[in-house]
């Protein structure tokens, strides 16, 4: 079943005589909310020319909004449109002061009538005073700010890319000035010209809350119904996946026949957003951009539910079975009994896959299931009758166990979202002493990958959801597991650290360091680094969450996210250099990272002060 629901749709009217009647009309036509100006245009003009004259303004507001505050449902169904004639950034001091006063009164009216959202249209980048006024109200007023941007700036530009970039730069300035506040959102107003692919990706990395669809950008199909161009449809489908709301602008409120066709069309578009990959969509639903602290299965014993979630992966164990099967038929004689050791056996899925691979290949095997979690051992013993004497269950830490024989094949699933972050290198290095000299490790190698990523939504969450008992920087020095959804990858991934097994280095050293340089193809803001991995199981049989080689339907791992303390806005074709360390001590492993170009940031997580992985 799809988890996609019909998006919320509102309607914008430029003028209404009575707001309550307009709300009733919008509701009767199945629209979810109404966008209207609180102050009529002429009253805004009057106030600008006759500063301080409230005799006309306030009675007008009161009569038009009569009854609005009486119902919570009605208040949340109303979005207040702030008049664009309010020029609070005028170079004329007299006009600026009057406009500021009018804006403050409009915002006060919106607050009094419990309006949940206010819309302010942004026409250019001259928005410093406007942003300052918004900043002064964010922590005292109830409503959220929806700043509306065109997808292409008006005026003459050398190329279309610059015209598309300007509105995003305006938004980026506002969001930074307002310190990524959680009540501030961009709203896009589409035009007849669809944004370029790069411009779309940049906006899809922002917390876009709504999209305005003017009726003039629709055409009429053969049956007389409004439709959008295929290019517009594709962009809207992408936006629907971010759960944006829509606003229809330009309908004549006196013609009731015009209301329904636009709603029906958006429902039609929504049906086209049915997930291509239902397995992935059902597993990731509800986890979009949700920060999770990485598991530490070496230091902590996992719960049964955690094992159960990972065991639902439809592809991981198929690949493991393929790898074990190929290793058996290519490397061993059917007349011998092959010793397989599953280290970190959990509740036994790899044991079952190893047995199935052996049965398919018609090989005799004896499997040692090694597991330190006492609760998981119970699950293993519950299957002992089915397995018979082909499986020996060992309740030991793989690093300290002393086996009676050595293994031909050592199988493990100790990988984390970054490959090595659940200490697979340390575990397998400790266990390889009971692997024969010509033995096989599955997996035999894994590589981590990183790339710079734009995700203001995650940055805002890190900024405002801090643990009061920890230093201010702790959130930004903690890597998180997160299903990256509302984001924009600023460059292609690049490999970082690789580990091989068995590891014949003398001495074995699992600390790592590398400097990675990225070229940014289009302007964006970096909020952190996305981390991935690719693992080789046997020869060319692999599993991967790296975007370019991602294994279809692989759901066991979400990417890692390494935050940075200060966002960095990067121009087209700029270079960025990242330094990354994997550090080890006798009791823990931790990562440190920083950016040294185009600006220098502090080293994040020195000595593992904010996050480390216990051995």
Identify the active-site residue in 106, 189, 422, 461. Answer: 422
The answer to whether the CB of 78 falls within 8 A of the CB of 106 is no
Per DSSP, the residues of 65-132 read TTTGGG-HHHHHTEEEEEPTT--TT-SSHHHHHHHHHHHHHHHHHHHHTT-SEEEEE--SS--HHHHH
pLDDT at 434: 92
Residue 453's SS3 state is: strand
pLDDT score of 53 more than 50: no
| CATH code linked to domain 9-274 | 3.20.20.150
pLDDT, mean over the chain = 90
Torsion of CA 90, 96, 99, 105, to 10 degrees: 140
Q: What is the pTM of this model?
A: 0.91
Q: For the segment 160-215, what is each residue's pLDDT rounded down to a tens digit?
A: 789 999 999 999 999 999 999 999 999 999 999 999 999 999 999 999 999 999 99
Ranges of H-type helices in 362-475: 374-381, 384-387, 424-431, 456-464
For residues 522-538, average pLDDT: 98
Q: Would strands 407-412 and 435-442 be described as parallel, antiparallel, or unpaired?
A: parallel
Which residues contact residue 478 at a Cβ distance below 8 angstroms, ignoring those fewer than 6 apart? 293, 563, 605, 610, 611
Residue-range domain boundaries for the chain: 9-274, 304-413, 445-614
| CATH code linked to domain 445-614 | 2.70.160.11
pLDDT score of 18 more than 90: no
Q: Would strands 337-343 and 364-371 be described as parallel, antiparallel, or unpaired?
A: parallel
Other Cβ atoms within 10 Å of 141 Cβ, number = 17
Same fold: 9-274 with 304-413: no
Give the closest residue to 545 by CA, choosing from 280, 348, 259: 280
Q: For the segment 278-311, what is each residue's pLDDT rounded down to a tens digit?
A: 666 767 777 899 999 888 877 788 888 888 888 8
Backbone angles phi, psi at 596, to 5 degrees: -115, -15
Identify the active-site residue in 106, 413, 461, 477. Answer: 413
CATH fold group of domain 304-413: Rossmann fold (3.40.50)
The answer to whether the CB of 458 falls within 8 A of the CB of 289 is yes
422 is catalytic: yes
For residues 393-414, average pLDDT: 94
492 is catalytic: no
pLDDT at 615: 87
* C-alpha to C-alpha distances, 394 to 114, 195, 305, 415, 435, nearest whole angstrom: 64, 60, 22, 21, 16
Which tops the pLDDT comparison, 236 or 65? Answer: 236
Residue 101: pLDDT band (50, 70, 90) is confident
Residue 448's SS3 state is: strand
pLDDT at 2: 39
pLDDT at 67: 56
């Amino acid at each position: 079943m799809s988890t996609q629901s019909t998006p919320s749709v509102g309607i914008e009217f430029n003028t209404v005589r009575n707001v309550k009647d307009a709300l009733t009309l919008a509701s009767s036509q199945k629209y979810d909310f109404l966008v209207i100006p609180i102050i009529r245009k002429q009253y805004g003009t009057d106030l600008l020319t006759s500063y301080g004259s409230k005799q006309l303004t306030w009675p007008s507001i009161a009569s038009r909004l009569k009854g609005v505050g009486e119902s919570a449902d009605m208040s949340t169904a109303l979005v207040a449109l702030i008049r664009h004639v309010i020029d609070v950034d005028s170079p004329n001091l007299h006009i600026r002061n009057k406009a500021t006063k009018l804006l403050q009164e409009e915002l006060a009216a919106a607050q009094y009538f419990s309006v949940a959202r206010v819309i302010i249209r942004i026409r250019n980048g001259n928005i410093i005073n406007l942003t300052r006024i918004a900043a002064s109200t964010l922590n005292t007023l109830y409503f959220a700010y929806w700043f509306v941007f065109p997808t292409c700036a008006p005026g003459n530009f050398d190329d279309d890319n610059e015209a598309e970039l300007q509105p995003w730069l305006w938004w980026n300035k506002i969001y930074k000035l307002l310190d990524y506040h959680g009540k501030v959102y961009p709203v896009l107003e589409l035009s007849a010209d669809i944004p370029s692919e790069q411009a779309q990706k940049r906006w899809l990395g922002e917390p876009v809350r709504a999209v305005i669809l003017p009726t003039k950008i629709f055409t009429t199909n053969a049956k007389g119904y409004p439709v959008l161009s295929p290019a517009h449809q594709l962009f809207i489908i992408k936006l629907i996946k971010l759960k944006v709301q829509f606003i229809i602008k330009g309908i004549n409120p006196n013609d009731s026949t015009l209301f329904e066709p636009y709603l029906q069309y958006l429902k039609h578009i929504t049906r086209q957003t049915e997930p291509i990959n239902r397995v992935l969509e059902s597993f990731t639903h509800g986890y979009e951009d949700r920060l999770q602290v990485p598991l530490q299965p070496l230091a902590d014993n996992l719960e049964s539910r955690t094992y159960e979630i990972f065991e639902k992966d439809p592809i991981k164990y198929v690949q493991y079975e393929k790898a074990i099967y190929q290793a058996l038929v290519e490397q061993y004689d059917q007349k011998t009994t092959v010793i397989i050791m599953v280290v970190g056996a959990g509740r036994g899925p790899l044991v079952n896959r190893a047995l199935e691979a052996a049965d398919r290949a018609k090989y005799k095997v004896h499997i040692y299931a090694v597991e330190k979690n006492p609760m998981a051992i119970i699950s293993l013993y519950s299957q002992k009758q089915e397995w018979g004497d082909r499986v020996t269950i060992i309740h030991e830490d793989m690093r300290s166990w002393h086996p009676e024989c050595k293994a031909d094949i050592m199988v493990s699933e100790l990988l984390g979202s970054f490959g090595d972050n659940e200490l697979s290198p340390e575990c397998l290095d400790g266990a390889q002493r009971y692997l024969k000299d010509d033995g096989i490790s599955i997996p035999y190698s894994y590589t981590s990958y990183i790339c710079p990523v734009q995700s203001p939504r995650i940055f805002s969450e890190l900024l405002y959801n801090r643990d009061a008992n920890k230093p201010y920087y702790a959130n930004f020095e903690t890597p998180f597991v997160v299903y990256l959804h509302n984001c924009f990858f600023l460059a292609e991934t690049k490999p970082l650290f690789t580990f091989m097994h068995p590891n014949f280095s003398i001495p074995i050293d699992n600390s790592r360091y590398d400097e990675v340089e990225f070229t940014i193809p289009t302007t964006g803001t970096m909020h952190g680094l996305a981390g991935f991995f690719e693992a080789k199981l046997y020869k060319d049989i692999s599993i991967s969450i790296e975007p370019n080689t991602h294994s279809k339907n692989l759901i066991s791992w979400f990417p890692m996210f390494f935050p940075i303390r200060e966002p960095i806005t990067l121009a087209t074709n700029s270079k960025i250099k990242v330094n990354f360390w994997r550090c080890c001590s006798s009791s823990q492993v931790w990562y440190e990272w920083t950016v040294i170009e185009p600006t220098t940031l502090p080293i994040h997580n020195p000595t593992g002060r904010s996050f480390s992985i216990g051995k």
